[in-house]
A and B are shown apart, each in its own frame.
Chain A
């Protein structure tokens, strides 16, 4: 068995599970039992992070009490958080634990990031809840949830910088963009709905990986928007390695130097060109090759650097 220590330096094994087939459900207890059972399928891969779907314990569950009864305190872990924290500790992985949380008298539709020790590393509040979630007594009993900050936080995991988003957040681009600006390399998307193509678009627009666990599917999406793996009727979970030692570039005129780079580095680098879109990714397959250093060596800008430089020149010459 290939162990964690044999991986590339920035190789992260990401996993997600789908809720498909687990709803509708009668009770929270049964739901969590089924979720834990489904999670068993991914442990053999020693995942670094597992993403679960939105409000994992109550989505499409019949016997749910009021918000006050199901919300877990952000200060001291509640029952679902404790249960998943134990898994995180035992499996030595991060877990995105999406539950309703309470803080200073407000409720939030949240994703709690649990670290490998089962501690809370950070909490994300859904930025864009539906109007029915927000308006008290419409979707939830006993109140409504408060929308999170328009500039959500990113968190430093031991493998890289992660951000989170939840369900209807997908309909607005702003918070996804802010995660990129704040350095997110991997975004964990917990949702009831899949938001199929839209997630792929956000991946290439922001050049980060997206790991999604939803009520309909589970997917891992590459930084160029291509789906690396998705679940299906025979496996309602996904696991795949993603390599954070990868850069997103525009192919023109960079492509003129690809031959020289390939001649020098051969199998040490993997190029993936998306011809219609005119962008490409370059990924290091060797522990000693850093993609940024290769780009510097050959005088190639990243996509963002090129766009920044082009914008400056355009502004200078625009009347």
Chain B
């Protein structure tokens, strides 16, 4: 709370010292202050930690989703890219580890229409759009999920390129479940159609954890999400035209992973418990949060019974949150030297996935 107040005060001081303030900048700056304050009540937002000289926790990651709202319709692709880069600069001060952009961010709802072979970019050597996003990634030392058309071996894909902190392409995701009109040539796109991605898509190792990706209509099938869960994705990046709503909350809970969404309607950071942590809003079109990968979902029962002992021994070295709506208690380490799995072992608490595995084993043994 003190941090929140400080930030608001700093923001107020800044506001006093500027002479001309556009409505857009006023709203943006004010909202950052307020938004940071809100997030700061439960956890440090990205910039706050470093500004006050506090180090991030070993598995703490600053995630940002930037939405496309109010950037469409757009006349030209160049205008779109420039406006998106401007919006991305707005969040650079947060010191993000990862910024997620919306599906086909350079062409979605852009009037100027070019054939696929003119706009699709290479998947290994950054093309013109990827290069500009890569410049941002390099400049701000962050990963960026850059969703554009790509071309590979004579086929076009609706893809997300994950660009690393050095501006290199760290991995590629091909949309598994495009809508019919995207696939059928000359229906949605000039000069062809796109090929659905392989059902077995990669999980990409970053310097902070394992990241998977999904795009838009993919949300209507569970197979891609299930596959990412099996491969151990800790964060799933959802780039889309449609927001996804409760569908994403369900997958976050089902997979026990964080989701960063960046869409045509909103951007959200969703907790592994299935609840929203942050969302873009009317006057601030991005969402951000510091999340901690040193954290697990546990069942309300019997974890509830162990809480007093946990509090007595570890106090604020742990962040424990009861999520009533999703029947989950998350346990998170706020101490660099403390591993959550060691705490669970010490207090004989099972994580959700372990509990279900043990239960299923007993069921299968006794089922006729």
Q: Which residues of A approach B to under 8 Å, CB–CB?
A: 106, 127-131, 134-135, 144, 146-150, 168, 171-173, 193-198, 200-201, 204-205, 225, 250, 252, 274-278, 307, 309-311, 313-315, 317-319
Contacts and interface: CB of A to CB of B under 8 A. Distances in A.
A197 B177 contact: no
Q: What 6 pairs between A and B have smallest CB-CB spacing?
A: A276-B245, A131-B362, A277-B245, A276-B243, A201-B250, A314-B196
Given A198-B326, A310-B179, A276 B265 contact: yes
Contacts, number: 114
A146 B193 contact: no
Interface in B168-190: 176-180, 183-184
Given A197-B274, A250-B220, A276-B245, A318 B198 contact: yes
Pick the most buried of B245, B358, B365: most chain A CB atoms within 10 A of its CB: B245
A196 B196 contact: no
A148 B178 CA distance: 38
A317 B195 contact: yes
A314 to B, nearest CB: 4
B363 A277 contact: no
B366 A134 contact: yes
B367 A197 contact: no
Contacts of B197: 318
A149 B363 CA distance: 10
Contacts of A310: 177, 179-180, 217, 220
Contacts of A147: 363-364, 366-367
B197 to A, nearest CB: 8
16 contacts: A106-B368, A131-B359, A147-B366, A172-B360, A196-B325, A197-B249, A197-B327, A198-B326, A198-B327, A276-B242, A276-B244, A277-B247, A307-B221, A310-B180, A314-B178, A315-B196
B246 A225 contact: yes
B92 interface: no
A122 B243 CA distance: 41
A173 B325 CA distance: 18
Contacts of A277: 242-247
A198 B363 contact: no
Interface string B335-368: 0000000000000000000001011111111111
Given A318-B198, A319-B195, A129 B363 contact: yes
Interface string B286-323: 00000000000000110000000000000000000000
Contacts of B244: 276-277
Contact of B195 (A196, A225, A276, A318): A318
A1 B367 CA distance: 49
A275 B196 CA distance: 25
Contacts of B229: none
Nearest to A253: B181
A314 B177 contact: yes
Nearest to A313: B180
B253 A146 contact: no
